[in-house]
Amino acid sequence: MRPALRWLSLVGALLGCSGPGALEAPGAATQAALVEVSPPPAASDVGEPVAPTASPSSAPEAAQHPPRATRVELTFVGDIVFGGHFRGTWYPVDVPREDPLAEVSGLLASDLAVGNLETTLLEELPKDAGDRLFAATSDQAAVLVRHGLRALSIANNHIHDFGAEGLMKTPSLLAGVGARALGAPQADGSPFRVETVTVKDWKVGFVAATARLNIPQRRDAAVTVPFARDEKLVPALMPLIREARASHDLVIVVAHWGEEYESEPRPWQVDAAHAFIDAGADAVVAHHPHVLQPIERYQDGIIAYSLGNFVFPNVRATSRDTGVLRLGFSRAEPERERSAAAPAGACLDHAEFSPAMMRRHKKHYAPEPLTGKAAEKLLRRLARASSRAPHATEWTLDGDRLVTRAACAP
């Protein structure tokens, strides 16, 4: 192990939905429901994706609530885009002939992998489209599930790229391949909500939101996305985080925020992330800037201010640095009588970041793990950036990864 490195340490708007009735309410797949997420298949098992299954309400109590696993492990990545329309031409990832995640399957392997799907899903790509619009098909999205990416935030500034059709189809097409859409547009009530995903019998509460829209959201829109501009995210999300804390084993905030290509978060982002952890979040994981930003160990939680791009039609060399954040959580107290209102406490027992680099594959870029000197260079740069105040954190360069202290032992 090398000497320790000191770290002085978030849709899119809706396009002219013309009044009530223009869109139907999203399907059940977009509602905040309890969804069972099975462990991902082995790296060599890339058959048909397994759809989430709800726990049968008629089953005996013991069958509904088997002994809770003592530990869960989650992995997180940044922006995922399978292709776009640029200067009159589509540049799609050729799935299934090309698997953009083949090289990083081992890095993603965990009980649940989470990412930001920064593209609408359509049944087929249109022949004509505007410039710099992102879209993919369910066949392309299915590859994510085969690598464990079964919870995908769509609360971002590209969900509206193909208007009403994209807004309505994206969550249902994701559900069709076995993935859960986080932060989907809502027709009734507040778009901000806690979404429960069950992982190894742990209740994980996700709160997904965006601070960035490409077109202003209309007040009379038929459906709305979880959007609040910058500092307004705090009052919008804090009550939900506290609500989730009382009834979930883990609480994860997924934010689409910040400024593109800036290497540091803005002060308001640091304040907001700290407030989310103080309110009970176990982790804040963010994206939008397209570049890696500091990863902070704050109180008993972790804040990744931007995980950058992961699969993207890349145009800048500076945005090709990427990686996978792995967080392990253990029960923090003895198992007690099972009830939805009394989850087992949990604490962070492991945190690590493994580096990767997006490399060109024909017309797209896909991540490949970094090792040796290349890994050390990226990790040392990330460590130095994260060491500066106000996100001072001490991490250790451990082979081809960064690790940091945990709140409890596994």
pLDDT in tens, 35-82: 444 443 333 333 333 333 333 333 444 445 556 799 999 999 999 988
What is the mean predicted confidence (pLDDT) over 352-373? 89
What is the mean predicted confidence (pLDDT) over 225-240? 95
The predicted structure's pLDDT at residue 167: 75
367 vs 129, more confident:
367
The predicted structure's pLDDT at residue 84: 66
The predicted structure's pLDDT at residue 315: 64
Radius of gyration of the chain (CA): 20
In order of their start, the domains of the chain are: 4-404 (3.60.21)
The predicted structure's pLDDT at residue 22: 30
pLDDT exceeds 60 at position 166: yes
260 vs 214, more confident:
260
pLDDT exceeds 90 at position 223: no
Percent of the chain at pLDDT exceeding 90: 54
The predicted structure's pLDDT at residue 110: 98
The predicted structure's pLDDT at residue 78: 96
What is the mean predicted confidence (pLDDT) over 262-280? 97
Contact between 397 and 380 under an 8 Å Cβ cutoff? The reply is yes
What is the mean predicted confidence (pLDDT) over 147-152? 97
369 vs 36, more confident:
369
pLDDT band at 399 (very low <50, low <70, confident <90, very high): very high
pLDDT, tens only, 6-27: 333 333 333 333 332 232 333 3
First to last CA, the chain: 20
Closest to 6 measured CA to CA, from 322, 385, 400: 385
The predicted structure's pLDDT at residue 396: 94
378/371 Cα distance (integer angstroms): 10
Q: Which residues contact 59 (CB under 8 A, 6 or more apart)?
A: none
Q: Which residues contact 29 (CB under 8 A, 6 or more apart)?
A: 171, 172, 174, 175, 180, 181, 184
- Least confident interval from 7-11, 180-184, 205-209, 317-321: 7-11
The predicted structure's pLDDT at residue 37: 47
The predicted structure's pLDDT at residue 80: 92
61/337 Cα distance (integer angstroms): 12
The predicted structure's pLDDT at residue 238: 98
Q: Which two tokens stand for residue 224?
A: 């709305």
pLDDT exceeds 80 at position 89: no
Could you tell me the maximum CA-CA distance found in the chain, to the nearest angstrom? Answer: 62
What is the mean predicted confidence (pLDDT) over 313-332? 87
Closest to 149 measured CA to CA, from 296, 66, 40: 40
Q: Whole-number mean pLDDT of the chain?
A: 79
Upstream peptide bond of 313 is cis (omega within 30 degrees of 0): no
What is the mean predicted confidence (pLDDT) over 171-194? 92
65/184 Cα distance (integer angstroms): 28
The predicted structure's pLDDT at residue 189: 81
The pTM is what?
A: 0.81
The predicted structure's pLDDT at residue 88: 59
CA 388 to chain centre: 25
